[in-house]
């Protein structure tokens, strides 16, 4: 037998044996996430507060179960623990606020989006799949993750959007556009009615590009996403692509975008998974990377444009012509300066979500922009 043939056979045997051995899942990877989003444009806030105006989320993530069935939760429904995969879950409380362009008037604005706020609790379960590294024995990479999120809450005055927005403006001394006092939203009495808000979201992510073996450092990768949302608040299909560049790009498939609750590390890394390392030690170290993300959505329902589902109308009797296709462009940076502390900032530009009705004489809605700041603290307990 030729030497090259023997080498190929040996390599195939090693690769096959590597696939057969799954790395054990971690027992605890708990971390706390706080996220703030705002459509501020400049430090004065004078031209902010229109369309998607603010969002706040507080999340706790941990592993679901290890291969022995141990974990903080006794169930990981709808997923089951299998060899070659790990489970993680996220619980959280969140709110989203939406307003028309001019909030400093009590008048009805039937040709703009309505006032609306959504307060909800969420539960997400993520299943990440292990892929053995063909070069380094005992090391695995996470190349795919599937997430299902259940959101349940209230849409309408019960979500306290008026109180949240005006309190924040007073605390941060946001100046009025029209006067000398604080900028207060005067039209919340026109907001969407109270109704239950239920939503189901699914997201599948693949690492589509990157070296077969990362060795001691990773400088780039490409992640592809596809998913869907179904519910009383949002119904859509979406697809996205993410490119990341940096030093020690982590093995977490990146930030989850759109209005799915965000976590920087929502996959459970198996014990043998690649993690950012300092060459002099084996513990996770510092990392920094920048990313660009492009997403497209085919929108069937958006409660903050279509109005209430139960009442089948808006309180202000207004309506707009929703666009069926919406796109997002995200540019951001993620930094882990300390072993168990990460921070991320992203700026999102969203294409117009609705257009003027024929004959109303108004210009179409413009693209909107908002910023997102996320803090994550790991291993508190």
CB 379 within 8 A of CB 348: no
What percent of the chain stands above pLDDT 70?
67
Domains of the chain: 27-378 (2.40.128.140)
Residues 215-225: tens digit of each pLDDT = 556 788 899 99
- Under 8 Å CB-to-CB from 67, ≥6 apart: which residues? 22, 24, 25, 81, 83
Q: What is the DSSP letter of 50?
A: S
Please give the pLDDT value at position 181.
77
Read off the pTM.
Answer: 0.82
Task: Supply the mean pLDDT for the chain.
Answer: 76
- In this predicted structure, the answer to whether residue 46 has a pLDDT above a threshold of 50 is no
Distance CA 343, CA 373 (A): 7
What is the rounded end-to-end Cα distance, in angstroms, of the chain?
57
């Amino acid at each position: 037998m030729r030497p090259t043939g023997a080498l190929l056979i040996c390599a195939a045997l090693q690769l096959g044996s590597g696939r057969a051995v799954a790395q054990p899942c971690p027992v605890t990877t708990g971390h706390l996430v706080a996220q703030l989003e705002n459509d501020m444009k400049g430090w004065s806030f004078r031209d902010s507060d229109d369309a998607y105006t603010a969002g706040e989320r507080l999340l706790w993530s941990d592993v679901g179960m290890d291969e022995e069935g141990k974990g903080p939760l006794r169930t990981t429904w709808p997923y089951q623990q299998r060899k070659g995969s790990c489970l993680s879950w996220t619980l959280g409380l969140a709110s989203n606020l939406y307003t028309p362009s001019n909030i400093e008037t009590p008048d009805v604005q039937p040709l703009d989006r309505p006032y609306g706020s959504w307060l909800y609790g969420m539960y997400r379960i993520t299943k990440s799949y292990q892929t053995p590294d063909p070069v380094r024995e005992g090391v695995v990479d996470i190349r795919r993750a599937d997430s299902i999120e259940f959101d349940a809450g209230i849409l309408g005055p019960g979500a306290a959007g008026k109180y949240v927005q005006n309190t924040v403006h007073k605390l941060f001394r946001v100046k009025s556009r029209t006067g000398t006092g604080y900028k207060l939203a005067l039209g919340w009495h026109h907001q969407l009615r109270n109704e239950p808000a239920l939503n189901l979201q699914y997201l599948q992510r693949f690492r589509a590009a990157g070296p077969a073996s990362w060795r001691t450092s990773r400088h780039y990768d490409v992640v592809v996403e596809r998913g869907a949302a179904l519910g009383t608040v949002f119904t859509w299909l979406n697809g996205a692509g993410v490119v990341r560049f940096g030093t020690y790009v982590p093995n977490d498939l990146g930030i989850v975008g759109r209005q799915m609750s965000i976590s920087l590390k929502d996959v459970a890394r198996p014990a043998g998974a690649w993690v950012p390392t300092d060459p002099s030690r084996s513990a996770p170290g510092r990392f920094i990377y920048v990313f660009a993300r492009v997403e497209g959505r085919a929108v069937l329902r958006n409660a903050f444009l279509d109005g209430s589902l139960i009442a089948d109308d808006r309180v202000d009797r207004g309506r707009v012509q929703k666009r069926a296709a919406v796109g997002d462009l995200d540019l951001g940076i993620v930094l882990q300066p300390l072993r168990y502390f990460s921070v991320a900032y992203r700026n999102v530009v969203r294409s117009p979500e609705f257009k003027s009705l024929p004959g109303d004489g108004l210009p179409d809605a413009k693209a909107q922009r908002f910023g997102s700041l996320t803090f994550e603290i790991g291993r508190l307990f």
